[in-house]
Amino acid sequence: MAGPRFEWDWVGGRCKLVTDSAPVSLLHGDIAVAERYFRKQRQRDEAEEQRHKLEKQRIRLRKFLKKHNFDPADVNATGAPKSVCFGWGRFFERPLHRAAKSKNEPMILLLLQFGADPRSKDSNGRTVYSYITSPTLRLQMQMLHHRICSDGPSVLE
């Protein structure tokens, strides 16, 4: 991975780092030390940003699961069985099926990233692929599921 390049300006026998924040003045021998420091700082900032983004995704996922009466701790849990036609039949669905029925594409991809199984079936014996009409989303789901399965457990768990 090629790291970011730093821009230096020579001013009065000293070297100044040109950054978005205030310029840093250094002697010539300290440039390598400063570059390592700023590279580590940038990596820490990127890791913190990624953690923040992941937490926002988890919150969105929990809200979706609670809103549709699913267990917020399990993306593969079935909802409470619902009676149909005066109790003559019962059906259940999973969060992935609910998102697919409502055509909520970002939530479908988020559920897959957090480990939802696209091969799971609802009470009618249908998988989530049977509810999706968009060929683009279907391809995205297959690629994401293949990448997660080939890498082992989900990287977001």
CATH (residue range 68-157): 1.25.40.20
- Dump pLDDT digits (tens) for 90-104: 667 888 888 888 888
Q: Would you list the domain boundaries of the chain?
A: 1-51, 68-157
Classify residue 115 as left (phi > 0), alpha (psi -120 to 50) or beta. Answer: left
* pLDDT above 70 (res 118): yes
Distance CA 12, CA 147 (A): 53
Kindly report the three-state secondary structure assignment for every residue of the chain.
CCCCCCEEEEECCEEEEECCCCCEEECHHHHHHHHHHHHHHHHHHHHHHHHHHHHHHHHHHHHHHHHCCCCCCCCCCCCCCEEECCCCEEECCCHHHHHHHCCCHHHHHHHHHCCCCCCCCCCCCCCHHHCCCCHHHHHHHHHHHHHHHHHCCCCCC
What band does 149 get if pLDDT is binned at 50, 70 and 90?
Answer: low
Please state the rounded mean pLDDT for residues 116-141.
82
pLDDT number for residue 123: 81
- Dump pLDDT digits (tens) for 2-33: 545 566 666 666 666 665 555 555 565 577 77
Our measurement of the distance from residue 56's CA atom to the centroid of its chain's CA atoms, rounded to an integer in Å, reads 9
Distance CA 157, CA 153 (A): 8
* Token pair belonging to 2: 């090629």
Distance CA 33, CA 119 (A): 52
* Strand bridging mode 7-11 / 14-18: antiparallel
What band does 132 get if pLDDT is binned at 50, 70 and 90?
Answer: confident
- Dump pLDDT digits (tens) for 59-79: 999 999 888 888 888 887 776
pLDDT number for residue 89: 56
Tokens 């205030």, located at residue? 22
pLDDT number for residue 139: 82
Q: What is the mean pLDDT of the chain?
A: 76
